[in-house]
Amino acid sequence: MKLYGSYTSPFVRHCRVALDECGEQYQFVETDYSQSAAGSPAKRVPFLTIGELKLHDSSSILKYIREHSGSEFMTDLVDFDRYCLINTALDTCINVFLLERDGFTVEQIPYLERQQSRIHAILSELNAINWGTTPRWNDVTIRLACFLDWALFRERLDLSEYSNLLAVLEFAHTQPVFSATAPPKS
């Protein structure tokens, strides 16, 4: 089994957490933009190969990992909806980040302003959830923590107004598998 991705991708990080949690043996293949464009029709990471089987999205990869290890993936509708909201905010945030790296700013393009608003609306919705003092450690909180940690790593968002989300991230940092998959600081 080979997981293709980058150490900084929050989608890849979630897959690495799941693989490590489930004790799956895999080879991590660090992949850049040109390699991901050549290796996946989605032209992004992660993608996973298992013999002839090739999975092109982190959600299908997570479904495989969880079910292959005898667990379930996203059986609760409310959890699945939260997972989808997080994915929308994360994907949007990454797109805005990459467009800004190419010289397009939120101030220049009204569409990007709408996207930035989408991110904050979703974060507000998620922040209104009572995650508890000890949140459940599942694919919803893992995806959320991967997103939030990436946003801080890339200096994308000010999360100070989202205290419930910061509590989830703080809890995630107590999980050894989460800390072990953090992107390199250099």
Can you say whether residue 146 is alpha, beta or left, with left for phi > 0 and alpha for psi between -120 and 50 degrees? Answer: alpha
Which residue reads 């909201």 in tokens? 85
Identify whether the C-beta of residue 172 lies closer than 8 Å to the C-beta of residue 141.
yes
What is the full per-residue pLDDT of the chain (186 aa) written as tens digits?
Answer: 999 999 999 999 999 999 999 999 999 999 998 999 899 999 999 999 999 999 999 999 999 999 999 999 999 999 999 999 999 999 999 999 999 999 999 999 999 999 999 999 999 999 999 999 899 999 999 999 999 999 999 999 999 999 999 999 999 999 999 999 999 886
Q: What torsion, rounded to 10 degrees, do the Cα atoms 84, 113, 158, 146 define?
A: 30
Q: How many helices (H) and strands (E) in the chain?
A: 8, 4
* CATH number of the structural domain 77-175: 1.20.1050.10
Q: Where are the domains of the chain?
A: 2-68, 77-175
Domain 2-68, CATH among 3.40.30.10, 3.60.15.10, 3.90.870.10, 3.30.1280.10: 3.40.30.10
Pairing of strands 2-5, 27-30: parallel
Token code pair at residue 119: 């991110």
pTM here is 0.96
The CA–CA distances, whole Å, from 143 to 14, 19, 66, 101, 104 equal 6, 14, 14, 24, 27
Please state the separation of Cα 64 from the chain's center in Å.
16
